[in-house]
Structure 1
Amino acid sequence: MAHIFKLQEYCLRAMGHSHEPDSSGSGSGSGGGALSLKHVVSLLFAASAQYPLIHNVVYHRNNMELATAGMSVLLTNLLTLFKIATFLVYKQDFWRMIQSFRQMHQQSSRNIRDGDGYGYVAEANKLASLLGRAYCTSCAATGLYFMVSPILKIIANSWRGTTYVRELPMPLRLPFNYVDSPGYEIGFVYILLVTIVVVSYASAVDGLFISFAINLRAHFQTLQRDIRTTDFSQSEHEFQKALKDLVDYHIRLLTLSKRLRVMYMPIVFGQFFITSLQVGVIIYQLVTNMDSIMALLVYLSFLGSIMLQLFIYCYGGEIIKVESHRVDVAVQLSNWYQAAPKLRRSLAFIILRSQRDLLIKAGFYEASLGNFLAICRAALSFITLIKSIE
């Protein structure tokens, strides 16, 4: 279990945040405490790239290929702005979530049953780490290609002795001469720094979400196990105490799940909405560049990166929904019939609450594997549509 706490704290520190929430005790949703200069600079620095990206798309509005190439980068940067802003608003709540999971782990470890009581978390945590590393690697590889490609072109043309108009790593138009020196070097460094901020924040915020989701699944599974192994034939006083512990545990998990939904609501909305637009733009680029192997590899890498990003949220939302429903099944599979009739009614409340959907959603966007597959099917349909038009 300690590994997942390290993953969460690493994600926060990667974005330059302290390791403890402030002591002001400000309410949930406010984020608590004033933002430091580095937090504001991170947001403003990423936002500063929006104007040259939009300017580039507008400038090439009559060239669909160049316009869509710029739009895919524009949408990626816009989505990261959603994530940075949301994280800064709820930055203290992120730390409180980590502290809550740590406290629950410490409380549960006092009553060891099988190892540390969370043996099944190990495999799930491996999956979370794999998804996080795969997504981060995908983003970093795509960003690295964009950064290295113009340098390689300059070197290749220098060897050949041919004239080459220098291009920036990303399709944008800066408000100064970025073709000649020193403007080109300044623009290159600026894009490099923006890329680092975008990749760092996007992968860190997504990594925090999947780690929170897997923590919740682990605790829901622990609750199910506790329900199944409860001795319902014990005395009424002992059973009431055990039932109170189970109900309190269930309420705490429901509260954390709702807090997670509130924290990530803007991100889930932006993720689904912007990813839907990105898929359409990248599919168009793929279909119109079928004759270029290098372009296909880049666009496929870009598409895989954003789809993996969406999958992380859909998978996290799915496991929370499924495991919360299984609490109902755990009660039905327990020895509930050994309890007194009056106490059975108390178990019915747990069943009724577990039958209500516990969803990670924003508006009509729900983070679920069903919606992820729907977007994948829409992407395939879009490919067929474009091919039929050509």
Structure 2
Amino acid sequence: MAIGINFRFLYGNQPLSTYFYGVPRLCLNLMGYWPERLHWRAYINFVVLAIGVATELHAGYRCARRGDITVALETFCPAGTSAVTLFKMFFLLQAREDLLYVLTKQRQMLFPIVGQTPVKEQVMRRHFLMTCRLNFWPVSAGFSTSSLYNLKPLMVVLLLYLNGRTDEIVWGMPFNMTMPEWLLHAPFYPLTFIFIAYTGYVTIFMFGGCDAFYFEFCVNIATLFDFLQADIHTLFQPYKGKAMQHSFALYQIKAPRLDLPEISGDNGAVFEATLVKLIKRQNEIFELTQYFRQRYATITLAHFVSASMVIGFSIFNLLTIGDKGLNTFLYVSYTVAALSQLLIYCYGGTLVTESSTKLAIVMGSAPWHLCLPKHRRYVHLFIMRSQRGLTMAVPFFTPSLVSFTTILQTSGSIIALAKSFQPQA
């Protein structure tokens, strides 16, 4: 199957199936890691990035031993991201069958054999389009950062040449890696440059695909909870008039007598069967989320640790670089890319929690007091399960917008503290 790059999922007039895991499918297909079809190039990309990580970490270690801390941090910044990306590649290889199960299960729940109602299709389109556009942002930011790293040594050479300083030209590499000396000169220099540049793009598409898969899962879970809310409204809709009559009776207000259905007899049996189906769907969504969360826990924790380190390195480099040219733009871009990665994890966790707890509000607002006693027990169990709130918690923290805000505040405090130690002009 040929690889085609298109961005149809960014437009709002596409079939719903186009948006389903649009960004992770694009990124992971390019690298050969899409769970539905593992390609041989996946192993090649794994070896390429493994070489890049090993040589980059070694180069950073050598710079640190020489006491060149700034260059060492410049090296460790992309090296840390690449190392975590290599771990994500290993995880995708190991957990391919599990992720394929998650993918298949969500597709079955979102795209049933019987067509969805117009209301649910509208909810799906809104959520899917938001997901694709938001997922595309970290990939774009990462791609821009990697391209800046690749263009930086070439732009430096071009500027020296245009200024007539050809004797100062040094042909550098996009990333600081330990390479044999003979690979850094003609005729192997172009091939070495392309190899090192390619490791950067492997990192971008792999972390973009893996992180986008996480966020897409969270949004799809939130969509399924919205479906449950719509079905609760549909279930109780025929009995809202009865609830109004009941309220009028409590306050001794005369209300028009209408022939409204009762939740008893045949109606009660149908009501109970539908309510049981809703409870089973709720349990199914909870179990699927817990299944996915357990398998993504290690990678989520590793991502937060690495992203925090990258942000710290970038801030330090921003505050210590001597020039204010391309390097400043480079580290700002890197920081934005790292924060974008964290944002989709935190926003995804918030969507899951809020949508699951909102079920309790929706069910509690329904006229459940008209139900038979055995039906009320079902309703109470449904509300109690929803009140606990479903989270994407991993050891030590829970991804949420509150966590993201805390990270931003901490980063701001670090910047303020570092600036306070800088000599005033």
TM-score normalised by L of structure 2: 0.83
The residue aligned with 2:17 is: 2
Structure 1 337/108 Cα, relative in aligned 2: closer, same or farther at 3 Å? Answer: farther
Q: 1:146 to 1:314 in 2, by over 3 A?
A: same
User: How many residues align structurally?
Assistant: 375
Matched, 1:196 2:201: yes
Cα deviation 1:327-365 (Å, max 9, x = unaligned): 111110111111012210111111111122322132113
Find 2:154's aligned residue among 146, 151, 154.
Answer: 151
- Are the structure 2 counterparts of residues 383 and 290 from structure 1 closer, same or farther at C-alpha, using a change threshold of 3 Å? farther
Residue 47 (1) aligns with residue 79 (2): no
* Equivalent residue runs for 1:341-380 within 5 Å: 341-380=373-412
Contact 1:52 1:175 in 2 (8 A): no
Aligned residues of 2:31 and 2:41 also touching (Cα < 8 A): no
1:114 maps onto 2:111 in alignment: no
Q: CA deviation at 1:184?
A: 2.5
Match of 2:396, as an amino acid? F
Q: Identical aligned pairs, as a percentage? A: 23
- Match of 1:60, SS state, is helix
The aligned residue for residue 248 of structure 1 is: 280
Deviating more after overlay: 96-105 vs 229-238: 229-238
Q: Which residue does 2:254 correspond to in 1?
A: none
Residue 162 of structure 1, aligned match among 148, 151, 166:
166
Among candidates 7, 26, 32, match of residue 16 of structure 1? 32
Residue 205 of structure 1: aligned partner: 210
2: CA distance, partners of 1:18 / 1:279: 29
Please tell me whether the aligned partners of residues 118 and 218 of structure 1 are also in contact (alpha carbons under 8 angstroms): no
Matches of 1:290 and 1:331 in 2, distance apart? 60
Residues in 2 aligned to 1:41 and 1:283: alpha-carbon distance in whole angstroms: 34
When residues 9 and 286 of structure 1 are mapped into structure 2, their CA distance, relative to the original with a 3 A threshold, is: closer
Map 1:1-390 → 2, pairs under 5 A: 1-5=16-20, 7=22, 9-17=25-33, 20=36, 37-61=40-64, 62-107=67-112, 109-110=114-115, 112-115=116-119, 117-159=120-162, 160-163=164-167, 164-231=169-236, 233-234=262-263, 235-289=267-321, 291-390=323-422
Show structure 1 runs of 5+ residues with no match.
22-34
Whether contact under 8 Å (2:32, 2:39) holds in the other structure is no
- 2:32–2:40 contact (8 Å) kept in structure 1: no
Mean Cα deviation higher: 335-344 or 35-44: 35-44
CA positional deviation for 1:192: 1.9
Mean CA deviation greater in 44-53 or 326-335: 44-53
- Spell out, residue by residue over 1:242-292, the C-alpha distance to the aligned partner (whole angstroms, 9 max, x if none): 111101111121122112212321221011111111111111011113741
Alpha-carbon separation, structure 2, partners of 1:351 and 1:223: 13
Deviation string 1:16-55 (CA, Å, 9 cap, x unpaired) is 246747xxxxxxxxxxxxx765333322321211221122
- Which structure would you say has the larger Rg? 2
The letter for the 2-side match of 1:309 is Q
Amino acid at match of 2:353: K
- 3-state SS of the aligned residue for 1:120? helix
The amino acid across from 1:367 in the alignment is P
Task: Summarize the Cα distance change of 1:108–1:353 in structure 2 as closer, same or farther, 3 Å threshold.
Answer: farther
C-alpha separation between the residues in 1 aligned to 2:34 and 2:410? 42
Check the 8 A contact 1:176/1:183 in 2, yes or no: no
Mapped partners of 2:35, 2:60: distance in 1: 40
- Give yes or no for contact 1:318–1:368 (8 Å, CA) kept in 2: yes
Cα distance in structure 2, aligned partners of 1:19 and 1:304 = 29
User: What is the CA–CA distance in structure 2 between the aligned matches of 1:18 and 1:140, rounded to whole Å?
Assistant: 19
Structure 1 length as normaliser, TM-score?
A: 0.90
Change (3 A) 1:144 1:379: same
**Any conservation in 2 of the 1:86–1:263 contact (CA below 8 Å)?**
no
SS of residue paired to 1:169: coil
With 379-388 and 234-243 compared, the bigger mean Cα shift is at 234-243
Provide the rounded CA distance (Å) in 2 between the counterparts of 1:126 and 1:18. Answer: 21
What 5-or-longer segments of structure 2 have no aligned partner? Answer: 1-15, 240-261
Cα contact 1:289–1:295 (8 A) shared by 2: yes
- Would the aligned equivalents of 1:65 and 1:285 in 2 still touch at CA under 8 Å? yes
Q: For residue 135 of structure 1, what is the amino acid of its counterpart? A: P
Provide runs of 4+ in structure 1 moved above 6 Å: none
Determine the structure 1 residue equivalent to 2:242: none
Give the letter aligned to residue 10 of structure 1: L
